Amino acid sequence: MSAADLPDFGAEPESSMARMVEIFDVRPDPVVPARYLGDSDGGTRRVVDGSQILGQSIVAAAKALPGRTVRTAHALFVSAADPDIPLDFTVTPIKTGRSFASATVTVRQELKVRTSCTVLLDNPQPDLIRSDEPAGLPVAGPDDAVPAAALPLPGREVRIVGSTDINDPGEVGPPVVDAWLRYDEVPARDELHRAVLAHFTGHLGISTALRPHPGIGTAQAHHTLSTAPMGISVTFHDPVKWDGWLRYHHEATYVGAGTAYIRGQVSTEGGRLIASFTQDAMIRAFDPGPVTEMPSEARL
Protein backbone atom coordinates (compact mmCIF):
# COMPACT_ATOMS: atom_id res chain seq x y z
CA MET A 1 0.00 0.00 0.00
CA SER A 2 1.38 3.40 -0.97
CA ALA A 3 1.17 6.56 1.13
CA ALA A 4 -1.56 7.78 -1.22
CA ASP A 5 -3.70 4.78 -0.26
CA LEU A 6 -3.53 5.50 3.50
CA PRO A 7 -6.59 7.16 5.08
CA ASP A 8 -6.20 10.86 5.92
CA PHE A 9 -6.96 11.33 9.59
CA GLY A 10 -6.20 15.05 9.45
CA ALA A 11 -3.29 16.99 10.86
CA GLU A 12 -2.91 17.81 14.54
CA PRO A 13 -4.54 21.22 15.19
CA GLU A 14 -1.99 24.02 15.29
CA SER A 15 -1.33 25.74 18.61
CA SER A 16 -3.25 29.00 18.99
CA MET A 17 -5.15 30.92 21.63
CA ALA A 18 -8.43 29.97 19.96
CA ARG A 19 -7.40 26.31 20.25
CA MET A 20 -6.54 26.84 23.93
CA VAL A 21 -10.01 28.26 24.63
CA GLU A 22 -11.52 25.13 23.03
CA ILE A 23 -9.29 23.01 25.29
CA PHE A 24 -10.34 24.92 28.41
CA ASP A 25 -14.01 24.22 27.60
CA VAL A 26 -14.07 20.64 28.91
CA ARG A 27 -16.91 18.38 27.77
CA PRO A 28 -19.42 16.64 30.07
CA ASP A 29 -19.11 12.86 30.13
CA PRO A 30 -22.39 11.57 28.60
CA VAL A 31 -22.48 8.67 31.07
CA VAL A 32 -20.85 9.70 34.35
CA PRO A 33 -22.26 12.76 36.20
CA ALA A 34 -19.82 15.45 37.35
CA ARG A 35 -17.12 14.02 35.09
CA TYR A 36 -15.65 16.07 32.25
CA LEU A 37 -13.30 15.20 29.40
CA GLY A 38 -10.56 17.33 27.95
CA ASP A 39 -7.70 17.45 25.47
CA SER A 40 -4.29 19.13 25.69
CA ASP A 41 -1.81 21.10 23.64
CA GLY A 42 1.79 20.45 24.61
CA GLY A 43 3.17 22.56 21.77
CA THR A 44 6.68 21.29 21.00
CA ARG A 45 7.01 19.45 24.33
CA ARG A 46 5.68 16.09 25.51
CA VAL A 47 4.22 17.56 28.67
CA VAL A 48 1.07 19.51 29.51
CA ASP A 49 1.38 22.91 31.18
CA GLY A 50 -0.02 22.77 34.68
CA SER A 51 -1.73 26.11 34.13
CA GLN A 52 -3.69 24.57 31.21
CA ILE A 53 -5.03 21.91 33.59
CA LEU A 54 -5.76 24.62 36.17
CA GLY A 55 -7.86 26.49 33.61
CA GLN A 56 -9.74 23.32 32.66
CA SER A 57 -10.39 22.52 36.34
CA ILE A 58 -11.89 25.99 36.82
CA VAL A 59 -14.29 25.38 33.92
CA ALA A 60 -15.17 21.87 35.14
CA ALA A 61 -16.06 23.16 38.62
CA ALA A 62 -18.16 26.00 37.18
CA LYS A 63 -20.08 23.56 35.00
CA ALA A 64 -20.64 21.10 37.86
CA LEU A 65 -21.92 23.86 40.17
CA PRO A 66 -23.92 26.13 37.85
CA GLY A 67 -25.02 29.55 39.03
CA ARG A 68 -21.82 30.05 41.06
CA THR A 69 -18.70 32.02 40.24
CA VAL A 70 -15.24 30.56 40.73
CA ARG A 71 -13.46 32.69 43.33
CA THR A 72 -10.28 30.69 44.07
CA ALA A 73 -8.56 27.61 42.68
CA HIS A 74 -5.56 25.82 44.23
CA ALA A 75 -3.90 23.16 42.07
CA LEU A 76 -1.12 20.69 42.90
CA PHE A 77 0.55 19.08 39.89
CA VAL A 78 1.44 15.73 41.39
CA SER A 79 2.52 14.01 38.15
CA ALA A 80 3.42 15.13 34.64
CA ALA A 81 0.62 14.80 32.08
CA ASP A 82 1.11 13.50 28.54
CA PRO A 83 -0.51 15.74 25.88
CA ASP A 84 -1.36 12.70 23.72
CA ILE A 85 -3.57 11.10 26.40
CA PRO A 86 -7.07 12.53 27.13
CA LEU A 87 -7.68 14.07 30.54
CA ASP A 88 -10.69 13.39 32.70
CA PHE A 89 -11.88 15.73 35.44
CA THR A 90 -13.99 14.43 38.32
CA VAL A 91 -15.68 17.15 40.36
CA THR A 92 -16.56 16.20 43.94
CA PRO A 93 -18.53 18.83 45.93
CA ILE A 94 -17.25 19.41 49.47
CA LYS A 95 -20.03 21.70 50.65
CA THR A 96 -22.73 23.70 48.91
CA GLY A 97 -24.19 26.51 51.00
CA ARG A 98 -26.44 29.45 50.28
CA SER A 99 -23.50 31.71 49.49
CA PHE A 100 -20.34 29.63 49.10
CA ALA A 101 -19.68 26.28 47.50
CA SER A 102 -16.50 24.22 47.35
CA ALA A 103 -15.32 21.20 45.40
CA THR A 104 -12.27 19.16 44.56
CA VAL A 105 -11.36 18.43 40.96
CA THR A 106 -9.30 15.29 40.46
CA VAL A 107 -7.59 15.11 37.09
CA ARG A 108 -6.57 11.71 35.73
CA GLN A 109 -5.07 10.10 32.67
CA GLU A 110 -5.81 6.39 32.31
CA LEU A 111 -6.72 6.21 36.04
CA LYS A 112 -3.45 7.88 37.09
CA VAL A 113 -3.90 11.07 39.12
CA ARG A 114 -2.07 14.01 37.50
CA THR A 115 -3.49 17.03 39.34
CA SER A 116 -5.65 17.75 42.37
CA CYS A 117 -7.44 21.09 42.50
CA THR A 118 -9.59 22.66 45.24
CA VAL A 119 -12.07 25.28 44.05
CA LEU A 120 -14.10 27.83 46.02
CA LEU A 121 -17.17 29.35 44.37
CA ASP A 122 -19.66 31.98 45.50
CA ASN A 123 -22.35 34.43 44.42
CA PRO A 124 -20.78 37.84 43.74
CA GLN A 125 -21.88 40.56 46.15
CA PRO A 126 -21.94 44.37 45.93
CA ASP A 127 -19.02 46.25 47.48
CA LEU A 128 -19.19 47.07 51.17
CA ILE A 129 -15.66 48.49 50.98
CA ARG A 130 -13.06 48.29 48.18
CA SER A 131 -9.30 48.59 47.74
CA ASP A 132 -7.70 47.19 44.60
CA GLU A 133 -4.45 49.00 43.81
CA PRO A 134 -1.92 46.67 42.12
CA ALA A 135 1.59 46.24 43.56
CA GLY A 136 4.80 47.40 41.95
CA LEU A 137 3.53 50.63 40.41
CA PRO A 138 4.59 52.60 38.45
CA VAL A 139 5.81 50.39 35.62
CA ALA A 140 6.46 50.93 31.91
CA GLY A 141 3.40 50.39 29.77
CA PRO A 142 3.01 47.93 26.88
CA ASP A 143 4.27 50.45 24.31
CA ASP A 144 7.66 50.53 26.09
CA ALA A 145 7.90 46.77 26.71
CA VAL A 146 9.77 44.25 24.54
CA PRO A 147 7.88 41.59 22.51
CA ALA A 148 8.58 38.15 23.98
CA ALA A 149 9.70 36.01 21.05
CA ALA A 150 10.13 33.03 23.38
CA LEU A 151 6.39 32.90 24.17
CA PRO A 152 4.73 32.59 20.75
CA LEU A 153 1.03 31.72 20.53
CA PRO A 154 -1.12 32.99 17.65
CA GLY A 155 -3.95 35.07 19.05
CA ARG A 156 -1.95 36.29 22.05
CA GLU A 157 0.70 39.01 22.27
CA VAL A 158 3.21 39.12 25.14
CA ARG A 159 5.58 41.99 25.94
CA ILE A 160 8.00 42.04 28.90
CA VAL A 161 9.22 45.16 30.66
CA GLY A 162 13.00 45.62 30.75
CA SER A 163 13.97 42.25 29.26
CA THR A 164 15.13 41.38 25.77
CA ASP A 165 15.24 37.61 26.39
CA ILE A 166 13.72 36.39 29.66
CA ASN A 167 15.19 32.90 29.12
CA ASP A 168 18.81 34.06 28.67
CA PRO A 169 21.11 32.84 31.51
CA GLY A 170 23.28 35.92 30.94
CA GLU A 171 20.48 38.43 31.44
CA VAL A 172 20.52 39.39 35.12
CA GLY A 173 18.05 41.57 36.97
CA PRO A 174 15.92 41.79 40.10
CA PRO A 175 13.52 38.92 40.92
CA VAL A 176 10.62 40.92 39.47
CA VAL A 177 9.05 40.52 36.02
CA ASP A 178 6.19 42.52 34.54
CA ALA A 179 4.55 41.18 31.41
CA TRP A 180 1.83 42.76 29.29
CA LEU A 181 -0.63 40.47 27.48
CA ARG A 182 -3.25 41.17 24.87
CA TYR A 183 -5.62 38.66 23.26
CA ASP A 184 -7.14 38.96 19.79
CA GLU A 185 -10.42 37.68 21.22
CA VAL A 186 -11.65 37.16 24.77
CA PRO A 187 -14.32 34.47 25.33
CA ALA A 188 -17.71 35.74 26.47
CA ARG A 189 -18.46 33.15 29.15
CA ASP A 190 -17.29 34.01 32.67
CA GLU A 191 -15.63 30.67 33.48
CA LEU A 192 -13.64 30.79 30.23
CA HIS A 193 -12.57 34.35 31.11
CA ARG A 194 -11.15 32.95 34.34
CA ALA A 195 -9.49 29.99 32.62
CA VAL A 196 -7.73 32.33 30.15
CA LEU A 197 -6.61 34.55 33.04
CA ALA A 198 -5.26 31.57 35.02
CA HIS A 199 -3.40 30.08 32.05
CA PHE A 200 -0.51 32.59 32.04
CA THR A 201 0.08 32.39 35.81
CA GLY A 202 2.40 29.43 35.24
CA HIS A 203 4.53 30.86 32.44
CA LEU A 204 7.04 33.31 33.96
CA GLY A 205 7.34 32.39 37.63
CA ILE A 206 10.46 30.26 37.31
CA SER A 207 12.09 32.81 34.99
CA THR A 208 11.46 35.44 37.66
CA ALA A 209 13.11 33.28 40.33
CA LEU A 210 16.19 32.59 38.16
CA ARG A 211 16.66 36.15 36.93
CA PRO A 212 19.04 37.46 39.68
CA HIS A 213 21.45 34.53 39.32
CA PRO A 214 24.20 34.88 36.65
CA GLY A 215 24.61 31.88 34.38
CA ILE A 216 21.25 30.37 35.36
CA GLY A 217 18.20 30.79 33.14
CA THR A 218 15.16 29.00 31.78
CA ALA A 219 16.95 28.30 28.48
CA GLN A 220 18.64 25.52 30.49
CA ALA A 221 15.37 24.04 31.71
CA HIS A 222 15.00 20.35 30.84
CA HIS A 223 18.67 20.30 29.75
CA THR A 224 20.86 21.01 32.77
CA LEU A 225 18.10 22.28 35.07
CA SER A 226 15.08 20.32 36.28
CA THR A 227 12.29 22.85 36.68
CA ALA A 228 8.53 22.64 36.99
CA PRO A 229 5.60 24.43 38.62
CA MET A 230 4.47 22.18 41.48
CA GLY A 231 1.44 24.19 42.48
CA ILE A 232 -0.49 27.31 41.45
CA SER A 233 -3.13 29.18 43.42
CA VAL A 234 -5.24 31.91 41.83
CA THR A 235 -7.80 34.22 43.40
CA PHE A 236 -10.18 36.17 41.21
CA HIS A 237 -11.33 39.65 42.22
CA ASP A 238 -14.65 40.47 40.60
CA PRO A 239 -15.46 41.68 38.08
CA VAL A 240 -13.07 39.59 35.96
CA LYS A 241 -13.49 41.64 32.80
CA TRP A 242 -11.02 43.54 30.69
CA ASP A 243 -10.52 45.17 27.34
CA GLY A 244 -7.05 45.54 25.85
CA TRP A 245 -3.84 44.88 27.76
CA LEU A 246 -3.39 42.91 30.99
CA ARG A 247 -0.36 43.30 33.28
CA TYR A 248 1.05 40.19 35.00
CA HIS A 249 3.32 41.27 37.87
CA HIS A 250 5.64 38.55 39.26
CA GLU A 251 7.86 38.66 42.36
CA ALA A 252 10.05 35.75 43.51
CA THR A 253 10.24 36.22 47.29
CA TYR A 254 12.15 33.01 48.08
CA VAL A 255 14.50 30.70 46.16
CA GLY A 256 16.38 27.88 47.90
CA ALA A 257 16.39 24.23 48.94
CA GLY A 258 15.46 23.24 45.38
CA THR A 259 12.25 25.30 45.39
CA ALA A 260 10.99 28.79 44.61
CA TYR A 261 7.98 30.81 45.73
CA ILE A 262 6.53 33.41 43.40
CA ARG A 263 3.60 35.73 44.00
CA GLY A 264 1.85 37.86 41.43
CA GLN A 265 -1.04 40.05 40.45
CA VAL A 266 -3.07 40.58 37.28
CA SER A 267 -4.40 44.05 36.55
CA THR A 268 -5.83 45.98 33.65
CA GLU A 269 -3.93 48.68 31.79
CA GLY A 270 -6.10 51.18 33.64
CA GLY A 271 -4.82 49.87 36.99
CA ARG A 272 -7.79 47.77 38.19
CA LEU A 273 -6.70 44.63 40.08
CA ILE A 274 -8.62 41.57 38.85
CA ALA A 275 -6.64 38.55 40.15
CA SER A 276 -3.79 37.49 42.45
CA PHE A 277 -1.76 34.30 42.25
CA THR A 278 1.10 32.33 43.77
CA GLN A 279 3.30 29.59 42.39
CA ASP A 280 5.45 26.96 44.12
CA ALA A 281 8.14 25.69 41.76
CA MET A 282 10.91 23.12 41.65
CA ILE A 283 14.40 24.31 40.58
CA ARG A 284 17.09 21.63 40.80
CA ALA A 285 20.10 20.28 38.97
CA PHE A 286 19.51 17.04 37.14
CA ASP A 287 20.37 14.00 39.22
CA PRO A 288 23.73 12.74 37.88
CA GLY A 289 22.74 9.19 38.79
CA PRO A 290 24.43 6.71 41.14
CA VAL A 291 28.03 7.44 42.08
CA THR A 292 30.36 4.62 41.09
CA GLU A 293 33.64 4.01 42.90
CA MET A 294 36.67 5.23 40.98
CA PRO A 295 39.39 2.72 40.04
CA SER A 296 42.21 2.81 42.54
CA GLU A 297 44.68 4.19 39.98
CA ALA A 298 42.34 7.12 39.29
CA ARG A 299 42.31 8.23 42.92
CA LEU A 300 45.99 9.28 42.85
Every domain of the chain and the residues it spans: 13-124, 135-289
What is the C-alpha to C-alpha distance for residues 288 and 62, in angstroms, rounded to an integer? 44
| Exposure class string for 258-284: b at 16+ Cβ within 10 A, else e | eebbbbbbbbbeeeebbbbbbbbbebe
In this structure, the number of other CB atoms found within 10 A of the CB of residue 147 comes to 14
Same fold: 13-124 with 135-289: yes
CA distances from 293 to 286, 296, 299 (A): 20, 9, 10
Q: Do strands 101-109 and 146-147 pair parallel, antiparallel, or not at all (unpaired)?
A: unpaired
Fold of 13-124: Thiol Ester Dehydrase; Chain A (3.10.129)
Report CA Rg, the chain.
21
pTM of the model as a whole: 0.89
Largest CA distance in the chain: 78
Cα dihedral value 192, 157, 239, 64, nearest 10 = 10
Exposed (0-12), middle (13-18) or buried (19+): which is 170, by Cβ within 10 Å? exposed
Specify whether domain 135-289 bears CATH 3.40.30.10: no
User: Count H helices, E strands: the chain?
Assistant: 4, 13
Q: What is the pLDDT of residue 1?
A: 34
Q: What is the pLDDT of residue 290?
A: 54
Residue type, 38: G
Judge whether 82 and 48 are in contact, CB under 8 Å.
Answer: yes
Average confidence (pLDDT) per 10 residues, the chain, 300 residues: 37 82 97 96 84 98 96 97 96 93 97 97 91 84 92 94 90 95 94 96 96 90 87 94 95 96 96 96 78 36
Judge whether 204 and 250 are in contact, CB under 8 Å.
Answer: yes
In 3D space, the residue among 14, 45, 47, 71 whose CA is nearest the CA of residue 190 turns out to be 71
